[in-house]
Structure 1
Amino acid sequence: MAGAGISRRRVLGFGAGLAAMAVTGCGSNSGRPSGGGDGSKPALQQWYHQYGEAGTQQAVERYAKAYPDATVTIQWSPGDYDKKVSTSLLTDQGPDVFEYGNGPTIDMIKGNQVVELTDLLGDAKSDFNSALLERMSYDGKLYGIPQVVDMQLLVYRKSLLSKAGVQPPQTVDELLDAAKKLTDDKVKGLFVGNDGGVGILGGPALWSAGLDYLTKDNRFGFDDPAAVESLRKLREFWTAKVLLLGAPTDWSDPAAFTQGLTAMQFTGLWTLPVIEKALPGDYGVLPWPKLNATTGAPSVPVGAYGACVNAKSKNVDAAKKYAKWLWVDRTADQLDFAQSYGFHVPARKSLAEKAEKLKSGPAADAVKLLNENGHPQNPMLWSPKAGTAYTDALSRIIRSGADPAAELKTVKSVTEAELKRITG
């Protein structure tokens, strides 16, 4: 199960600290032959990262083989997929169509490395998750087609909360109090990753305070006393010794929860089938709670791989046509991709309504949380460098007790310099 969590799910929680690759202008020669074996069809290369769920690779190869208008070759890429893609886009040897976490980066767009896909959606536009379409757009133009939606959420053991006389927490203070009451010599109250939440709580900490990474007009979004308070609370979880640390597997895997090492865990939707099998009926799902009774709102981080087209493809039009065929027209394949090889929400509302696995129990509750409290993982203009600065600050605050106000000044300085670079 760990493999599944750290493959398809790497779109949530791992991307913020990746170093940005340099960008160059686009060219026209891909260095690859443009036709099929007999020249009658264009030859396209499509890249995916290595998914952990059994059957996924065979599925995408089957989809590609069924496409009638081009010969599509799949490259399945283990290892540091993001770096491989970023590097390939600087050359003439990159893929024609590729997936990328939350759509292409702003540097890919500004560097003319990907092509606009706005015209591909047509009447289907209103059927796609609007927040994800916005996340994959820049200046009103779409550069990625959402493939499948993933989300993080808080799972809790009903029996343990009941035994401790604890209600499902609605605020961060209630969550801390619950974690204290649920911690004993065998069980910790909360698991948010072996790093104490550094890697996954950056967004929820801001949203719970009613803030965001950037404002609507793309300015630094959390130079605010509420952000300082929220980050101090994360430190309190650490000092209260209610967090599970050093678990055999990390937050993306449900083993710590199903094995009784923790009463609550911030994890992902993809873990629910394993949890259901291990603890049938004895778990519920919650968003990360709002900061307090008067401040902020509950939240769940939402991410999606987006299908992108390389501007250096020798067959841009053919690549766009294939991307539309697979991720707009082929709704049966889209539902299959979301539900048959794991546990995920289709990127389109009409398909989510058809997903049988999402119609009852905690899974249905999770979809409700996604629709009511979902936040795209981070904004388009939130750069990898800004993400690294924030993650480093979180580490110092949570693990070492650094002053949040001082740390946020540094993050603000880095972010403002990045915004100036990006927007010119």
Structure 2
Amino acid sequence: MTMRRRRLLTAGGGLALAGALAACGSNTGRGSGGSGPALSQWYHQYGEPGTQQAVKRYAAAYTKADVTVQWRPGDYDRQTAAALLTDSGPDVFEVNGPLLEQIQGGQVADLTDLVAPVKDDFNQAVLAPKIWQDKIWGIPQTIDTQLLYYRKSMLKDAGVQPPQTVDELVDAARTLTTSKVKGLFLGNDGGAGVLSGTPLAAAGLSLITEDGRAGFDDPAAARVLGKIRQLYAGKALLLGAPTDWSDPAAFIQGLTAMQWSGLWALPQIKKALGDDFGVLPFPKDGPAGKPAVPVGAYASAVSARSRHRAAATEFAKWLWIDRTDYQRDFALSYGFHIPARISLAKKAAQLREGAAADAVRYATDHGSAEPLLWNSADRTAYQDALSRIIKEGAHPETELKAVLRTVEAELRRAKKK
């Protein structure tokens, strides 16, 4: 499987999708050839056909600079980190996980004034992780999200209502499980890889609070993760499916009545099942709980070391602020994603009806993204603990206390920089 835009939701959540990137060169493409300065723009490798050609077309349409697009396969984050330490790195580039390190290292330009006039039009959940010390350091490009798909006919036949709480989800999965069909598919590892902080958000908690503290030092965190363990231990989960959670094949083939997957799967499910499906957020848990929808977005950033920083900033504004037609094209013509701008999502014909419209509403009303302060060490500690809780029945409170120590140490380290 080639990496797609969903990579930011999985790599950011501690999961590596099955398979590897297709091998290819850097595939550079010249821009407009205009009289302005030469700018280099980097993208990680997208898997959707047509995306590479589209971004080259956008660059070629820009007349104030000669923009070269570089398609970067392999470990994009590591490549970018190394290049930004030199004078030959990109002028404009995509960024997601390493943004805080780049901000603290003085490697990215402050884009606050650029975004300010349209700040409220961005989905605030994906904009928040691009903000540090009240300044905006990246422009969200397009949104990926995950949802709970359910088969309407299967639920109706079993007398089950679409679950609105985690307890109802557990009960529904058990009721829907038969000798031929499992009630729920959260991935072949029982959800340990994909769920990340989503259950915590459903309990009204967070990975990191807005004021920069660990957000899961609460008994509600252990309770909700214990309920995910119940699903695994109760054999209501589909395990060992031919493809993992990111592919809707198990759901389409009737191996499961409910599946957690990405918005990208919706067109394929619609084609196969017609209107016999619906989508839901991850159900809320407990009195302080709320529906949870994980969202993520790569951002366009400008290198602080660019020799043409003003021109690079102007290009980033042109492409990701001014050219709303390109933003809409990028989100919806090569795969199925939500534009980062709320106004564009509302106008998109593909997102106005049925499950797609529901998905946009859920992402807008209930979306939550990994916080800027949540780093790779935090992610690994939490991911390992979640796997032990779900698959081995480890005590949630004990596991979370160990994660808490790691996160608190990392937060102290980040704040000293």
Q: TM-score, normalised by structure 2?
A: 0.92
Following TM superposition, by how much is the alpha carbon of 1:391 offset from its aligned partner in structure 2, in angstroms? 0.6
Equivalent position to 2:210, from 206, 216, 235? 216
Q: Which amino acid is 2:91 matched to?
A: D
- Per-residue displacement from partner, 1:37-68 (whole Å, max 9, x unpaired)? 99942111111112121111111000000110
Equivalent position to 2:284, from 270, 286, 290? 290
* 1:70 match: 65
* 1:246 match: 240
SS at match of 1:163: helix
SS at match of 2:298: strand
Q: Which amino acid is 1:255 matched to?
A: A
Q: Do the aligned partners of residues 157 and 37 (structure 1) sit closer, same or farther apart at CA in structure 2, a change above 3 Å counting?
A: closer
- Does structure 1 residue 395 correspond to structure 2 residue 372? no
What aligned pairs does 1:30-179 form with structure 2 within 5 A after superposition?
40-101=35-96, 104-179=98-173
Matches of 2:142 and 2:171 in 1, distance apart? Answer: 35
**Matched-pair contact (CA < 8 Å) for 2:59–2:67:** yes
SS at match of 1:193: coil
* 2:222 match: 228
Matches of 1:157 and 1:59 in 2, distance apart? Answer: 35
Following TM superposition, by how much is the alpha carbon of 1:413 offset from its aligned partner in structure 2, in angstroms? 0.7
- Does structure 1 residue 369 correspond to structure 2 residue 362? yes
SS at match of 1:260: coil
* 1:308 match: 301
Matches of 1:295 and 1:168 in 2, distance apart? Answer: 20
- Does structure 1 residue 15 correspond to structure 2 residue 4? no
SS at match of 2:383: helix
* 2:272 match: 278
* 1:30 match: none
- Per-residue displacement from partner, 1:273-328 (whole Å, max 9, x unpaired)? 00000000100000100114x24111100111100112222211111111001000
Q: Which amino acid is 2:327 matched to?
A: Q
Q: Equivalent pairs: percent with the same residue?
A: 60
* 1:351 match: 344
SS at match of 1:166: coil
* 2:328 match: 335
Q: Which runs of 5 or more structure 1 residues have no equivalent in the other structure?
A: 19-35
Q: Which amino acid is 1:304 matched to?
A: A
* 1:25 match: none
Matches of 1:355 and 1:312 in 2, distance apart? Answer: 37
* 2:398 match: 406
Following TM superposition, by how much is the alpha carbon of 1:355 offset from its aligned partner in structure 2, in angstroms? 0.3
Equivalent position to 2:256, from 256, 259, 262? 262
Following TM superposition, by how much is the alpha carbon of 1:344 offset from its aligned partner in structure 2, in angstroms? 1.2
Following TM superposition, by how much is the alpha carbon of 1:121 offset from its aligned partner in structure 2, in angstroms? 2.1
Q: TM-score, normalised by structure 1?
A: 0.91
**Matched-pair contact (CA < 8 Å) for 1:17–1:385:** no
Following TM superposition, by how much is the alpha carbon of 1:122 offset from its aligned partner in structure 2, in angstroms? 4.3
- Per-residue displacement from partner, 1:152-210 (whole Å, max 9, x unpaired)? 11000001111111110011111111111111222211111122111221211101111
Matches of 2:151 and 2:317 in 1, distance apart? Answer: 42
- Per-residue displacement from partner, 1:245-293 (whole Å, max 9, x unpaired)? 222222112111112121111111111100000000100000100114x
* 1:380 match: 372
**Matched-pair contact (CA < 8 Å) for 1:7–1:49:** no
SS at match of 1:256: helix
* 1:32 match: none
User: Over aligned residue pairs, what C-alpha RMSD do you find?
Assistant: 2.0
Matches of 2:330 and 2:127 in 1, distance apart? Answer: 19
* 2:23 match: none
Matches of 1:116 and 1:162 in 2, distance apart? Answer: 52
**Matched-pair contact (CA < 8 Å) for 1:148–1:338:** yes
Q: Do the aligned partners of residues 331 and 290 (structure 1) sit closer, same or farther apart at CA in structure 2, a change above 3 Å counting?
A: same
* 1:299 match: 292
Following TM superposition, by how much is the alpha carbon of 1:353 offset from its aligned partner in structure 2, in angstroms? 1.6
**Matched-pair contact (CA < 8 Å) for 2:13–2:195:** no
**Matched-pair contact (CA < 8 Å) for 1:194–1:251:** yes
